[in-house]
Amino acid sequence: MSDKEESEKKAGGEEAISKLLMLGAGPSEPEVRSMTIIGDVSEELSKDVIAALWFLKQTAKTEELVNPEDPECEEVKEVIKPMEIIISTNGGNADDMFAIYDAIRYVREDVPVETFGLGKVMSAGTLLLAAGTKGQRKIGRHCRVMIHSVIGGSVGPMHQLDNEMKEVKAIQEAYIRAICEETNLTEKKLRALLKRKVNVYLTAEEAVEHGFADIIV
């Protein structure tokens, strides 16, 4: 990649982050490595979130003095700076949910990803909350969590409806597998929950019990 392309890519990441950050970092302020997923999970949101994730991953490595209190210390060590994703959403599009989820999975291999659910974390948002680095997933004490089966609909000829239903079922299976991979829920228990209720609501305590989060704040 040329210097020009690298510069343009960095600028794109900075622009995406500027749309997502709650606070800006100035010359005298600490660096902000937090982004927000607030509102519907959509193609527009996923585009910005993924660009921001890539940018924060690329800028995660830094060097710090081994002993900063020693004025004569010159020895440095490599440090990986974590990132935080603050989530408050009613859910959204399944494809965009999986796009963000896969991006988080890729980034967390090298950089700790702290997720923080506030207010409401529902539908697509539950998987994104659970996708954070285990042990670093926080949830507000009054946050409401809701999971439900995938919702889909279509109008057209019978063979088309049958095709669309197969696709909805495939998305449902992928969602169940992902939730079970990131939480303490087994497929049997999750399927039983989804079958019993249209919308399954969890308190913050229940969300931690089931492994969607680790810490209540």
CATH code for residues 3-21+31-54+83-216? 3.90.226.10
Give pLDDT tens digits for 186-199. 999 999 888 877 78
Per-domain residue ranges of the chain: 3-21+31-54+83-216
Residue-level pLDDT at 59: 87
Summarised one tens digit per residue, pLDDT across range 129-166 is 999 999 999 999 999 999 987 655 444 555 555 666 78
- Do the Cβ atoms of 115 and 190 come closer than 8 Å? no
| pLDDT for the residue numbered 124 | 94
Residue 24, burial from CB neighbour count under 10 angstroms (0-12, 13-18, 19+): exposed
Tell me the C-alpha to C-alpha distance, in Å, between residue 22 and each of 19, 32, 35: 9, 9, 7
Query: Is the pTM higher than 0.95?
Result: no
pLDDT value at position 148? 87
